[in-house]
């Protein structure tokens, strides 16, 4: 995949290479091109959940039953997850893959998003979860590919943060 491909096309290619078929999500504007690409490709089983905890439970069950998955969400959704990461994914050694669209920074207009965004990396660090922020198109392939390998090999969750530098973020109306 050339570096000039949009981030979501690179992501689709890496997910397919690692046989990650189940894509659960709670919708987000920035994730929309990835969500649409997943729905357009019969390789994937897309699944919309009512909340992120539920989505984490679904991908955990599916992984234990032999089907790999990923959970897509925005920053505020991640903030609802610490309990289930700490009591399900980590102790049971389930490599839950998470991809978070980073809201609340670099031009945010919603104060609630801005504050909740500040909790994300401290929570990931407190839980000792491997996390990587993707800012440039040319690093998406390497970060996703290597980190998915590591997550599976070490049975540990991993979180990919999509910076507005990569995605353009959410632009508010003038």
Residues that bind another protein (CB under 8 A): 22, 45, 47-51, 53-67, 69, 83-84, 86-88, 91-94
Q: Which is nearer to another protein, 22 or 151 (CB)?
A: 22
Sequential DSSP letters for the chain? --TTS-HHHHHHHHHHHTTEEEEEE---TTTHHHHHHHHH-TT-EEEE-SSHHHHHHHHHHHHHTT-EEEEEEEHHHHTT-HHHIIIIITTTT---EEEEE--SSSS---HHHHHHHHHHHHHHHHTT-EEEEE-SHHHHHHHHHHHHHHHHHHT--EEEEE-HHHH--PPPP-
Residue 140: CB minimum distance to another protein, A: 26
Residue 25: CB minimum distance to another protein, A: 12
Q: Which is nearer to another protein, 7 or 44 (CB)?
A: 44
Q: Which is nearer to another protein, 124 or 140 (CB)?
A: 124
Q: Which is nearer to another protein, 54 or 145 (CB)?
A: 54
Residue 162: CB minimum distance to another protein, A: 24
Residue 89: CB minimum distance to another protein, A: 9
């Amino acid at each position: 995949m050339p570096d000039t491909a949009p981030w979501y096309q690179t992501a689709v290619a890496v997910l397919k290479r690692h046989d990650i078929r189940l894509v659960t999500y709670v919708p987000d504007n920035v994730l929309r091109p990835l969500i649409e690409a997943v729905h357009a490709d019969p390789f994937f089983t897309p699944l919309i959940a009512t909340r992120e905890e539920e989505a984490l439970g679904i991908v955990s069950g599916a992984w234990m039953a032999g089907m790999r998955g990923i959970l897509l969400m925005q920053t505020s959704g991640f903030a609802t997850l610490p309990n289930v990461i700490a009591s399900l994914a980590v102790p049971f050694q389930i490599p839950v893959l998470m991809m978070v669209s980073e809201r609340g920074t670099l031009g945010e207009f919603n104060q609630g998003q801005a504050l909740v965004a500040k909790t994300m990396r401290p929570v990931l660090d407190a839980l000792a979860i491997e996390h990587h922020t993707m800012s440039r198109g040319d690093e998406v392939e390497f970060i996703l590919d290597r980190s998915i390998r590591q997550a599976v090999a070490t049975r540990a969750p991993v979180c990919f943060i999509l910076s507005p530098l990569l995605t353009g973020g959410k632009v508010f109306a003038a």
